[in-house]
Amino acid sequence: MHVHILGICGTFMGGIAAIARAAGHRVTGSDRNVYPPMSTQLEQLGIEITQGFDAAQLSPAPDVVVVGNVMGRGMPVIEALLDSHVPYQSGPQWLATQVLHNRHVLAVAGTHGKTTTSSMLTHVLEYAGLQPGFLIGGVPGNFDVSARLGGEQYFVIEADEYDTAFFDKRAKFVHYGARTLLLNNLEYDHADIYPDLAAIQRQVHHVVRTVPGSGRIICNATDANLAATLAMGCWTPVEGFARAGQGVDAPWTAAIEPGSDYSSFAVLQSGKPVAQVQWSQLGAHNVDNALAAIAAAHAVGVPVATAAAALSSFKGVRRRMEHIGQAAGVHVYDDFAHHPTAIATTVEGLRRRIGTGRLVAVLEPRSNTMKLGVHRHTLAPSLVGADAVWVYAPADLGWDATEVTASLGAKAQAVGDLDALLLQLSDSVRAGDHVLIMSNGGFGGLHRRLLAVLAQRPT
């Protein structure tokens, strides 16, 4: 079968392409921004990529066109597709019908932690010998690819709440047929498509309604928004998770030494210690992610001790608190954080790891929700744990970033030019500093540009 993918260079659609190729299909695709590393990865798989969305790419006609959610009416290829008799599906729909329909699907949903938790769970299942397929919105360090067809029984998927396609405005995760569903947390996000939290809750409840009674829902027991969502109706056994001392009763808990950097914690099942995790990750949020992964793996028969042992060799995810390098004694990290809650937990986790070392936070408010200014009133509190703060505020940001920096005092500033930001940052940092650069985009290569400048400092 010839599968042609529109919007192929996104992480999700690129994963669809890799899976379709592994399943034996001929795969081609197109995108507006075709550049490495995704273009290189796809070309290495023998996938031909067309630049742009012209109508000519549908001749000769493929057997099916898979339409990414970046596509919309008015694009030449979409208008030609609708005029033709060529079958088309969304990415989630194609995945559901061609790959997931006969698998035990473990879907990881939530506002934060989806990529990391999916990566942890996939690694645990692989360590246990279950050979899972997976599609993750990032690159797990233990696999170096974002998607794999895998064996015939289990499939782990990052269950995104973003809409499916221009012709299907349901959330992507509704399509997947989850048998084990992880619900990490629920906050307001994606302001470009959801008017309020209640709209997202309805989408989450749609997926809750699809989980069979013989399946399992693993849920953050401390999240009131998730509790309210499940109260709308739930027909599947629910197992909660929480860190010890959070004031909730949950069958899965983690006990952490006070003041620790979260590199070690005990796993308790129904109040009884059953395993110990020693690992390289940091932050309370990653302890939560690990508990969810352990509980989900247990639901498909993986012993807790096996899951804990697997996590000791978990290598993290690219762009999730990834240590990019060190120059002139300055450590530089890359993190995908783009929501105040994620920013706060990332800053707090790094602070525990480095102790009294100077923590410099650099933020690009790049997501659609950030650009709309939805989180501008909660950004400053999320950054208060840093010793110095830079906010990149280009002219098209859409709101005044000094609202954030002014409340943080002299340690914070907003800069509208990327070159000026690099100059100020490189002049300010000193040996022993830890620079945390946060963006859900490439941030103009700021991480490596900073390291290159620092490498030129006289010793």
Over the stretch 404-413, which tens digit does the pLDDT of each residue have?
788 888 898 8
Q: Examine the domain organization and report whether 197 and 232 are in the same domain.
A: yes
pLDDT surpassing 80 at residue 88: yes
- Work out whether strand 322-327 and strand 48-51 pair parallel, antiparallel, or are unpaired: unpaired
b/e 164-177 (16+ beta carbons within 10 angstroms → b): bbbebebbbbbbbb
- Pairing relationship of beta strands 154-158 and 238-243 according to DSSP bridges: unpaired
Domain boundary among 258, 281, 311: 311
When pLDDT is cut at 50, 70 and 90, the band that residue 192 belongs to is: confident
- Is the predicted pLDDT of residue 36 greater than 70, yes or no? no
Answer whether residue 334 shows pLDDT above 80: yes
**Does any domain span residue 317?**
no
Each residue's pLDDT tens digit, 337-378: 767 877 887 888 788 788 888 999 998 887 766 666 667 777
What is the per-residue pLDDT for 459? 66
Same domain, yes or no, for 329 and 282?
A: no
- Contact (Cβ atoms closer than 8 angstroms) between residue 227 and residue 191: no
Q: Do 23 and 125 belong together in one domain?
A: no
Whether 111 and 81 map to the same domain: the answer is: no
Nearest Cα to Cα of residue 41 among 58, 32, 29, 53: 29
Where do we find the tokens 């995760």? 173
> Last residue of some domain: 282, 311, 340?
311
Between the alpha carbon of residue 301 and those of residues 241, 295, 306, the distances in Å are 18, 10, 10
Residue 373 has what pLDDT?
66
Asked, for residue 410, whether it belongs to a domain, the answer is yes
Q: Does position 82 have pLDDT exceeding 90, yes or no?
A: yes
Q: In which band, very low, low, confident or very high, does the pLDDT at 37 lie, cut at 50, 70 and 90?
A: low
User: For residue 403, what pLDDT band results from cuts at 50, 70 and 90?
Assistant: confident
Is 80 exceeded by the pLDDT of residue 218?
Answer: yes
On whether residue 316 sits in a domain, the answer given is no
Task: Scan for tokens 């898979």, then name that residue.
Answer: 66
| Residue 258 backbone zone (phi > 0: left; psi -120 to 50: alpha; other: beta) | beta
Three-state DSSP class for 66? Answer: strand
Which residue spans within 336-399 are E strands per DSSP?
359-363, 388-392
Confidence of residue 223 (pLDDT cuts 50, 70, 90): very high
Residues 355, 282, single domain; the answer is no
Q: Would you state the pLDDT for residue 376?
A: 72
| CB 284 within 8 Å of CB 243 | yes
pLDDT at 259 over 80: no
Q: Say if residue 78 is in the same domain as residue 104.
A: no
Residues 180 and 153 in one domain: yes
pLDDT tens digits along 236-258? 999 999 998 888 999 999 999 88
pLDDT score recorded for residue 399? 78
120 and 23 in a single domain? The answer is: no
Q: Where are the alpha helices (DSSP H) in 23-155?
A: 38-44, 76-83, 91-98, 114-127
CATH number, domain of 19, equals: 3.40.50.720
Domain holding 134: CATH number? 3.40.1190.10
Quick one: what percent of the chain has pLDDT higher than 90? Answer: 58
393 in the same domain as 362: yes
The pLDDT value given to residue 372:
66
Does 377 map to a domain?
yes
pLDDT of 35 strictly over 90: no
- Of the three residues 49, 69, 91, the one that is the final residue of a domain is 91
CATH code, domain carrying 361: 3.90.190.20
What mean pLDDT value characterizes the chain?
90
Query: How many structural domains does the chain have?
Result: 3
Q: Are residues 117 and 261 in the same domain?
A: yes
pLDDT at 23: 94
**Same domain assignment for residues 283 and 380:** no
What's the pLDDT tens digit per position in 42-75? 888 889 999 999 999 999 999 999 999 999 999 9
| Same domain membership, residue 63 and residue 109 | no
Average pLDDT over residues 134-154: 90
Write out the residue range of the structural domain in which residue 121 sits: 99-311
| Helix (H) or strand (E) segment spanning residue 264 | strand 264-269
Q: How far is 309 from 287, CA to CA, in rounded Å?
A: 14
Q: Identify whether 439 is part of a domain.
A: yes
Is residue 33 a part of any domain in this protein? Answer: yes
pLDDT at 39 over 80: no
Asked if the structure places residue 64 within a domain, the reply is yes
- pLDDT value of position 307: 97
Alpha-carbon distances, residue 30 vs 42, 85, 209 (angstroms)? 11, 20, 35
Q: What is the DSSP letter of 427?
A: H
